[in-house]
């Protein structure tokens, strides 16, 4: 068993394995890697550093189990999903504490992450008695037309670290209820959360080979999954650049991509500023800004700009940064050293671009990847600070004169996931609903807070397809059925 050499205390670190064809197994590489607690920089586990040979073994297991799982009636598949839901409920506190330890978010947010997993397994289990197809009239007599849902087959799931239990569940639950088998690659920053979720699925009596878990890097595990000719569907959540690589290398797979964004909250002159303040704090600094829905641009009407700026800075300076299990902590650490360096980098970029730093812009001495809540003002909407996704606790204030300018600035990016507007004016609200080029628009709420029974996904460079409650289309094919009971050959399209 590996030993923790990161401090003077000798602590044995558990080694975790891949799960392939119903067995916990070591990687064929015989190599491992550590996952670190981002608040302490101490390793919490040792994990398999797998490669394409492990991916191939997982594909073979998924292929072998596919006929049995496909032919299991969907209501019976649903019974297992309900068991998973129940076990997640029982384990919610333990899993939330594990997520704080491995990912870094504060406890209440980690518990919310687990709750999302509970909700999606419950929702998709309900689809086991639905999975509706459609009927439609035929152009011919004595002929019946319909569609049914069929599984894709073997699918690959590549998931991120920022929601290490919820987002895998967003993919696993619909893929399972549709009858697919799969290879699941959790992020190398949070592999233990993925393994614990796998253990729950095993405990719920999921047949062997239906879900196969392989840990390792994007290069050595993710790329072989993307290019594998016998993986017929792929669902990925992560960066825009990786999404572009997938589109170029996945061949003719059915691909679902949930990528980055640069989300905005519009605050109009008639807004309830106290309510807007709560939404901005939650959107900008919740999960330390490490959400694809994070509010990294605050677009404020000139009539209330100075007042709101003072309100925001006053509260942001009081936010407490620290370990997520401490009840007094408001904001946890960034996920790793690279993320910390990126926040420093964009602070320097903002200063060089002429933006004014109002607070934050620096880390905290000692162990852990901590960075203080950071706010810039006098920000040009076309600057890098206002255009590029940072994925850290940094937000910018942009002044506008009217609703037209607000919508123009909000839409003036290459992404389009989540948007919000604070106003008491219904005309403003409905203009935002109709004109904002985003997959999600909130009125008088933050950019964060998606519910699992609605579609989750964006426009433009944010990705391709939808997740959560509307993801059945991503994990199934709609098959056309024609039944001719005329007793003779009938030719469509009016051919005699």
Is pLDDT of 394 > 80? yes
Q: What is the mean pLDDT of residues 89-115?
A: 98
Q: What is the mean pLDDT of residues 68-82?
A: 98
HSE-CB at 437 with a 13 A cutoff on CA atoms is 17
The DSSP output letter for 319 is: P
Separation between Cα atoms, residue 343 and residue 372, nearest integer Å: 10
The torsion angle over the Cα atoms of residues 124, 126, 127 and 129, rounded to 10 degrees, is 150
Q: What is the mean pLDDT of residues 48-61?
A: 98
Is pLDDT of 110 > 60? yes
Tell me how crowded residue 460 is: count the other CB atoms within 10 A of its CB.
Answer: 16
User: Are 345 and 337 within 8 A, CB to CB?
Assistant: no
C-alpha R_g of the chain: 24
DSSP element (H, E) containing 442: strand 440-443
CATH topology for 18-260+458-479?
Aldehyde Dehydrogenase; Chain A, domain 1 (3.40.605)
Compute φ and ψ for 482, nearest 5 degrees: -120, 125
Strand ranges, E, within 272-416: 295-301, 356-359, 374-377, 394-400
Q: Does domain 263-443 have CATH number 3.40.309.10?
A: yes
Domain ranges of the chain: 18-260+458-479, 263-443
Whole-Å CA distances, 251 to 193, 239, 459, 462: 30, 19, 22, 20
Separation between Cα atoms, residue 182 and residue 212, nearest integer Å: 6
Per-residue pLDDT of 421-461, as tens digits, reads: 999 999 999 999 999 999 999 999 999 988 999 999 999 99
Per-residue pLDDT of 194-209, as tens digits, reads: 999 999 999 999 999 9
Per-residue pLDDT of 220-257, as tens digits, reads: 999 999 999 999 999 999 999 999 999 999 999 999 99
Comparing C-alpha atoms, which of 392, 391, 374, 364 is closest to residue 40?
364
pLDDT band at 8 (very low <50, low <70, confident <90, very high): very low
Query: Annotated active-site positions, please?
Result: 292
């Amino acid at each position: 068993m590996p030993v923790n050499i990161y401090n003077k205390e000798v602590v044995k670190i558990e080694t975790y394995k891949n799960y392939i064809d119903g067995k916990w197994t070591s990687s064929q590489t015989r190599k491992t890697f550590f996952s670190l607690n981002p608040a302490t920089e101490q390793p919490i586990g040792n994990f398999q550093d797998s490669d394409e040979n492990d991916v191939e073994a997982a594909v073979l297991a998924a292929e072998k189990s596919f006929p049995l799982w496909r032919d299991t009636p969907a209501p019976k598949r649903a019974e297992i999903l309900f068991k998973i839901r129940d076990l997640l409920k029982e384990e919610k506190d333990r899993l939330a504490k594990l997520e704080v330890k491995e990912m870094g978010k504060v406890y209440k947010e980690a518990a919310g992450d687990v709750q999302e997993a509970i909700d999606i397994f419950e929702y998709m289990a309900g689809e086991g008695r639905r999975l509706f197809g459609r009927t439609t009239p035929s152009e011919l007599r004595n002929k019946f037309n319909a569609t049914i849902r069929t599984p894709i087959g073997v699918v690959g799931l590549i998931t991120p670290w920022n929601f290490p239990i919820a987002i895998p569940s967003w993919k696993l639950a619909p893929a399972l209820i549709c009858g697919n088998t799969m290879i699941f690659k959790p992020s190398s920053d949070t592999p233990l959360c993925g393994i614990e979720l796998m253990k729950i699925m095993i405990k719920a009596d999921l047949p062997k080979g239906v879900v196969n878990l392989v840990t390792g890097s994007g290069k050595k595990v993710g790329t072989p999954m993307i290019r594998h000719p016998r993986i017929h569907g792929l669902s990925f959540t992560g960066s825009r650049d990786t999404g572009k690589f997938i589109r170029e290398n996945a061949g003719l797979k059915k691909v679902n991509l949930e990528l980055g964004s640069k989300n905005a909250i519009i605050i109009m002159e008639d807004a309830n500023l106290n309510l807007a303040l709560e939404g901005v704090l939650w959107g900008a600094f919740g999960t330390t800004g490490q959400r694809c829905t994070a509010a990294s641009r605050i677009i404020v009407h000139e009539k209330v700009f100075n007042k709101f700026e003072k309100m925001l800075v006053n509260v942001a300076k009081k936010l407490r940064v620290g370990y997520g299990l401490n009840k007094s902590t408001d904001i946890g650490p960034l996920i790793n050293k690279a993320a910390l360096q990126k926040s420093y980098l964009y602070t320097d970029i903002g200063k060089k671009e002429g933006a004014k730093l109002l607070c934050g812009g620096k880390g905290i001495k000692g162990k852990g990847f901590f960075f203080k809540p950071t706010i810039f003002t006098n920000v040009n909407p076309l600057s890098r600070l206002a255009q590029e996704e940072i994925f850290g606790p940094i937000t910018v204030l942009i002044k506008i004169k009217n609703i037209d300018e607000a919508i123009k600035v909000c839409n003036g990016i290459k992404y389009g996931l989540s948007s919000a507007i604070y106003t008491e004016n219904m005309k403003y609200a409905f203009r935002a609903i109709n004109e904002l080029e985003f997959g999600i628009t909130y009125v008088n709420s933050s950019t964060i807070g998606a519910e699992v029974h609605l579609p989750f996904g964006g426009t433009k460079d944010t990705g391709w397809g939808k997740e959560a409650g509307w993801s059945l289309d991503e994990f199934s094919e709609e098959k056309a059925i024609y039944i001719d009971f005329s007793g003779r050959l009938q030719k469509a399209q009016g051919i005699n």
